Amino acid sequence: MKRALRLAAAATVFVLIAAACSKSTTPSTSGGSSKPGNGQKIGMVYDLAGRGDKSFNDSAYIGLTKASHDFNIQVKDLTPSASGQGRQALMRLLATDGYPLIFGNGFAFDADIAAVAKDYPNIKFAETDGGVADLTSSSNLVMNDFAANEGSFLVGAAAALTSKSGKVGFIGGVDVGLIHSFQAGFEAGAKQVNPSIQVDVKYLTAPPNFTGFSDPAKGKEAALGMFGSGDDVIFHAAGGSGAGLFDAAKEYSTTNSVKVWAIGVDSDQYLTAPAEDQPYILTSMIKRVDVSVYDTIKDFIDGKFMGGYRTFGLKSGAIDYATSGGFVDSIKSQLDDLKQKIISGAITVPTS
């Protein structure tokens, strides 16, 4: 009976995969036999937009790719359907296919990755921005979290130092606790510079609708409305929807003959934005998911994987702000002073 149930479960996984998987890569091997890794397979499941979001998921892919170049491993990455269905099925597929380390890239994996990790105690799992409770160092699941509030504080300060209207904005992809920490840091940084500044906030969707992370049209609509109400610098924490903010900054500036600014997130988005949008990207809050992915893979290969909780912040170099374009050069010394005060503990950045 148990064997029949296991076979039925495996069959269900493969049926779900056909419906859920929207994009995957062919496993690739790099490195020679002199490198560690022993040809082990590392798997990753992205969330929603998947690769090509020029933000959160692309950063994770950079870490995965760097590890594949530095170690003798095979990597495979998968993306669930546009609705987010199939996360658990994709992880189970990788587990049954012999992948000893599997990543779930995003907080929406909480329930799914906890369930799969319980069913496969001999496989290691890692989640980015996760909130699974009651983990210990001996757990087979690690939460790789980030002090995104710290980087958001710095770009909030940059927004306030740049704003001429005294009004700035924040666009969150989905109204959830994780994104609240970006908002809290941004507001605190802006008010550190200008206590009387107005910070307008807009969330694109609320759970269970997570499309706010993958809807550039909705991001653009929200940004145009905020620019129209007087905000002249807007920071987004909205994943793929942030591309709409960049388009809106360009469109509003050229149409109204007034310069407004956008601030990117997760990666240096100036470097990946279309050339026509780059002049309107003031800076980006850099959240180096690639660092957490690479470090987790290295620890696993070295036999040092530990479950539980890890936080990457300014001090570890996984959080920062971008200087591409030179638009913050004149205020860089002020931002760096605030950065050092956060690292030293002189400034405590709120998370909510």
Kindly report the length of the chain: 352
Give the pLDDT score at 56.
85
Give the pLDDT score at 82.
65
- The CATH class of 2-147+289-312 is alpha beta
Report the C-alpha gap between 295 and 298 in whole angstroms.
Answer: 5
pLDDT digits (tens, 9 = 90+) for 243-291: 999 999 999 999 999 999 999 998 899 999 999 999 999 999 999 999 9
Report the C-alpha gap between 54 and 271 in whole angstroms.
Answer: 9
Q: How confident is the model at residue 38 (pLDDT cuts 50, 70, 90)?
A: confident
Judged against a pLDDT cut of 80, whether residue 52 lies above it is answered with: yes
Report the C-alpha gap between 255 and 249 in whole angstroms.
Answer: 10
End-to-end CA distance of the chain: 50
Q: In degrees to the nearest 10, what's the CA dihedral of 268, 164, 169, 49?
A: -30
Judged against a pLDDT cut of 70, whether residue 18 lies above it is answered with: no
pLDDT digits (tens, 9 = 90+) for 153-188: 999 999 999 999 999 999 999 999 999 999 999 999
Give the pLDDT score at 54.
78
Cα R_g (the chain), whole angstroms: 21
Give the pLDDT score at 83.
63
Cβ within 8 Å of residue 217, ≥6 positions away: 244
> What is the residue-wise DSSP string for 254-321?
HHHT---EEEEEES-GGGTS-TTTGGGEEEEEEE-HHHHHHHHHHHHHTT----EEEEE-TTTTSEEE
Give the pLDDT score at 142.
98
2-147+289-312 and 148-287+316-344 in the same fold: yes
Could you tell me what percentage of the chain is helix, strand and coil, using 3-state DSSP and rounding each to the nearest 5? 45, 20, 35
Question: What is the 8-class DSSP label of residue 214?
Answer: S
Report the C-alpha gap between 110 and 58 in whole angstroms.
Answer: 20
Question: What is the 8-class DSSP label of residue 103?
Answer: E
Judged against a pLDDT cut of 70, whether residue 25 lies above it is answered with: no
Cβ atoms of 307 and 138 closer than 8 Å: yes
Average pLDDT over residues 231-246: 97
Name the residue with higher pLDDT: 205 or 53: 205
Judged against a pLDDT cut of 80, whether residue 1 lies above it is answered with: no
Residue 165 amino acid letter: S
Q: How confident is the model at residue 80 (pLDDT cuts 50, 70, 90)?
A: confident
Range of 7-16, 49-58, 307-316 with top mean pLDDT: 307-316
Report the C-alpha gap between 229 and 348 in whole angstroms.
Answer: 31
- The CATH class of 148-287+316-344 is alpha beta
Strand pairing report for 23-24 and 73-79: antiparallel
Average pLDDT over residues 8-16: 40
0.85 exceeded by the pTM? no
Counting residues of the chain whose pLDDT is more than 90, the rounded percentage is 82
Question: What is the 8-class DSSP label of residue 96?
Answer: H
Give the pLDDT score at 17.
37
Judged against a pLDDT cut of 70, whether residue 144 lies above it is answered with: yes
Whether residue 195 has a cis bond before it, omega within 30° of 0: no
Give the pLDDT score at 275.
98
Give the pLDDT score at 337.
98
Judged against a pLDDT cut of 60, whether residue 5 lies above it is answered with: no
| Other CB atoms within 10 Å distance of the CB of residue 183 | 23
Cβ atoms of 248 and 218 closer than 8 Å: no
Q: How confident is the model at residue 53 (pLDDT cuts 50, 70, 90)?
A: confident
Q: Where are the domains of the chain?
A: 2-147+289-312, 148-287+316-344
Judged against a pLDDT cut of 50, whether residue 11 lies above it is answered with: no
Give the pLDDT score at 291.
94
How high is the mean pLDDT of the chain? 90
